Structures are given as structure tokens and as C-alpha cells.
Amino acid sequence: MSVNITIDEGYTYDYLAHGLGTIFLLAIIGAISSGLIIVLGFIIGISLMALKTGVEIDATNRNIRRYFSIFGLKWGGWKDLSRVVLAKMIYKNERGSKESVSSMIALPSMNSNAGPTAVRSYTLSFIDDTENEWVFNEFIEMKFARKTMEALEKHFDFEIQNDIQKMMELMKSQKINRRK
């Protein structure tokens, strides 16, 4: 029986500007030359804006991939997990000053009293039996990172180092200590 796990992260909006730019650029070119170019630009632009991402795990063949999807068509290279001995999920929290570029983008206003912002990510990396480490993915949202780690724990026999699980246990213990 084949075991295939799909963790759909949804729309990325990484190519939103590219999609809109394509629509407008080809609309201008189409207005000058041919109306068919406008239709082509609209299709390409909407396709770029409709890009989805996710993680797919093939537990039967011991493979994993980060996929990209447009209108249900998925693509992305598979990585072999047969030689993996350790999977690590590392939580990163980087704080920026109020003058940093990331904080300027992340803050809802340009209020100078707003203070620093935090950029959080969850990095999944694998270490194989030759001690070669490779980063597979950086998740932005904890729920997708957590789902991926739960699937790896359930279907694979290699060691798991999971910062998310440690964080949740710490938060639970702090919550219990506050009640006392």
C-alpha cells in the first residue's frame, strides 16, 4: 500500500508582483500589436499569482519534495531519504531594529516608536549516514513545519530533533507554573 502525505501550504504570493507586471506589460504590448498577446499575458500573469507550494512525502519509496503547483499541476525534485539518520527542525527568531529593512516592511506603520520586529522561520534539514547535512525547506508558518515533522516521525525510523516540540512543551510547563 502506497503512503503519500501532502502538506499544502497554499498560495505563496511570492510572484504576485511578477504576475501583475506580466499582465500589464503584455496588455500594453497587445494593445499596440495583437489582442491575442493580452489574453496570453492574462493567462501567464494569473498562473504566476496562483502559484501554491507544499511538501509531499512518499513514505513507501522514502522520498520527500517541496513542490510548486499551478492549477493542480505539481512539480519539484524528489530527495531520497533512504540514507538519512537525523531530521532536524530548527526554530529561528531574528529580531531587527526599527531601522532595518525587514522591520520597515513588517511594521504596519512607519511609527518610529514601534520598536523591533521578529522574523520567524522553521528550518528543516537532514543529515545522512556520511554526516552530510542539507537544508530541505524553511517554513514560515509553524503549523506546516509541525505537520511535516509529525509525518516524518510517524512514517520514518530515523532520529528526529524537533525544536517545535520542545517549544510547545516549554509553553505548556510555563502555563502550568502560572496557574500555581
pLDDT tens digits, residue range 113-150? 445 556 778 899 999 999 999 999 998 888 999 999 99
pLDDT tens digits, residue range 24-78? 888 888 888 877 888 888 888 888 888 889 999 999 999 999 999 988 889 999 9
Residue 68 buriedness (CB in 10 A; 0-12 / 13-18 / 19+): middle
Task: Please name the amino acid found at residue 61.
Answer: N
All structural domains of the chain with their residue ranges: 1-80, 82-92+120-180
Say if CB 87 and CB 54 are below 8 A apart: no
* 57 contacts: CB under 8 Å, gap ≥ 6: 4, 5, 6, 7, 63, 64, 148, 151, 152, 155
